[in-house]
Amino acid sequence: MKQLLQGAKLKIHACVEDIDYKKPRGIDRSVMMSLSSCDWIKKHHNLIITGPTGVGKTFLVCALAHKACREGYRAFYIRAPKFYYHLALAKADGSYGKVMTKLGKTHLLVLDDLGLAPMTDSERRDLLEVIEERDGHTSTILTSQLPVENWHENIGDPTIADAILDRLIHNAHRINLKGGSMRKKLKLDSN
């Protein structure tokens, strides 16, 4: 398990047991309990978590990825800007095929902060290739500040956007968080 957790490169140490259900953010305890069973990963389903900045999207995905590692699944966390950067580097140094194979075989890919800026042509094509490679064989978690309804516009190219969304949405569990920044609340509570 230690090796799986190290390989996951989770941004924060979070556990499903530490999820705060008291603050009104739109987290349904029964949904989280179901997701923490990891059955959705076994079924190769996806998870999409949307909501404003600071509402706890990253904490939730890291907690679920941590649980997946505890259940023996290989997980990998990466923020979308860094994801695109690493794929561009892999193309430049000739390791793109190897990186794509690794991403395709990872049981749970966590792609955090999708849609912070409109996608470039290269980014949308890379995302499609990764999603296509994973479709029906593995699970992906995506977080975004943008509602899913706005992803099409953010992706940019209508044909590629249709292809990406078709592979992601139809077998995805969706959580829409709401509320203010947990960071602000934590800072105020510590003063």
Instruction: Provide the CATH number for the domain around residue 80.
Output: 3.40.50.300
User: H or E stretch including 109?
Assistant: strand 108-114
Q: Given a cut of 60, is residue 191 above it in pLDDT?
A: no
Q: Which residues pair with 77 in a beta bridge?
A: 110
Backbone angles phi, psi at 163, to 5 degrees: -65, -45
User: pTM value?
Assistant: 0.90
43, 140 contact by CB (below 8 A)? no
What is the structure's pLDDT at 80?
96
Give the strand order in the sheet containing 46-50: 75-79, 108-114, 139-144, 46-50, 172-176
180, 54 contact by CB (below 8 A)? yes
What is the structure's pLDDT at 185?
53
Backbone angles phi, psi at 87, to 5 degrees: -70, -40
How far apart are alpha carbons 113 and 151 in whole angstroms?
Answer: 12
What is the structure's pLDDT at 183?
61
The mean pLDDT value for 172-184 works out to 83
Q: Which residue has the higher pLDDT, 35 or 184?
A: 35
What is the structure's pLDDT at 8?
84
The mean pLDDT value for 117-137 works out to 94
181, 55 contact by CB (below 8 A)? yes
Q: Given a cut of 70, is residue 156 above it in pLDDT?
A: yes
Q: Classify the C-alpha dihedral 60-64-67-73 as positive or negative.
A: negative
Range of the domain at 47: 2-190
pLDDT digits (tens, 9 = 90+) for 5-53: 888 889 899 888 988 888 778 888 899 999 999 999 999 999 999 999 9
pLDDT digits (tens, 9 = 90+) for 48-105: 999 999 888 999 999 999 999 999 999 999 999 999 999 999 999 999 999 999 999 9
The mean pLDDT value for 1-8 works out to 83
What is the structure's pLDDT at 182?
67
Number of domains in the chain: 1
How far apart are alpha carbons 156 and 154 in whole angstroms?
Answer: 5
